[in-house]
Amino acid sequence: MNAYLLPLTGGVLLGLSAMWLLLSLGRIAGISGIAWGSLAGPERLWRTLFLVGLLLGGLLTHNVIGQPVPAESTAPLWLIVTSGLLVGLGTRMGGGCTSGHGVCGLGRRSPRSLVATLTFMTLGVITVLVMQSLMGGAV
């Protein structure tokens, strides 16, 4: 399969699924909000099923296209936990995650999501450049 076709297909499916969730349940497909709501919010059933579907869909896709499931991280547990907590803090401070702002918010032409997306993309680029300079060009 063409190397450009897989990401394009994934993007189209992601956009269609976000539209379907919005049209069918009136909900935005922001993963942080869905994950938080599955633990502590209302309407836990659909949120839990959504998250299970994400995991099963990824596993199914890897099996169908013959791509191996990525290897387990070798990072120390403290780094993984700290990273997760910082991402969670950032999504709470930013009023949503990259999927909520970047995929759904921009699709709804939300000015707040445009600012959030520009902010996290800019800081992501800066982080990569700083890390490359600190590590001698290899990240």
Residue 37 and residue 44 in contact, taking contact as beta carbons nearer than 8 Å: yes
**Is pLDDT of 138 > 80?**
no
Closest Cα to residue 38, out of 25, 47, 28, 27?
A: 47
Q: Under 8 Å CB-to-CB from 64, ≥6 apart: which residues?
A: none
In the block, residue with structure tokens 């998250």: 51
Q: What is the pLDDT of residues 58-73, one digit of tens each?
A: 888 888 888 777 888 8
Question: Phi/psi class of residue 28: alpha, beta or left (left: φ > 0; alpha: ψ in -120 to 50)?
Answer: beta
Q: Is the pTM of this model over 0.85?
A: no
113-136 average pLDDT score: 90
CB neighbours of residue 99 within 10 Å:
19
The answer to which of 39-48, 88-97, 107-116 has the lowest mean pLDDT is: 88-97
Contact criterion met (CB below 8 Å) for 84 and 76: no
Give the model's pLDDT for residue 121.
Answer: 92
Task: Read off the pLDDT of residues 53-107 as tens digits, 9 standing for 90 and up.
Answer: 989 988 888 888 887 778 888 999 999 999 989 988 888 888 888 878 888 888 8
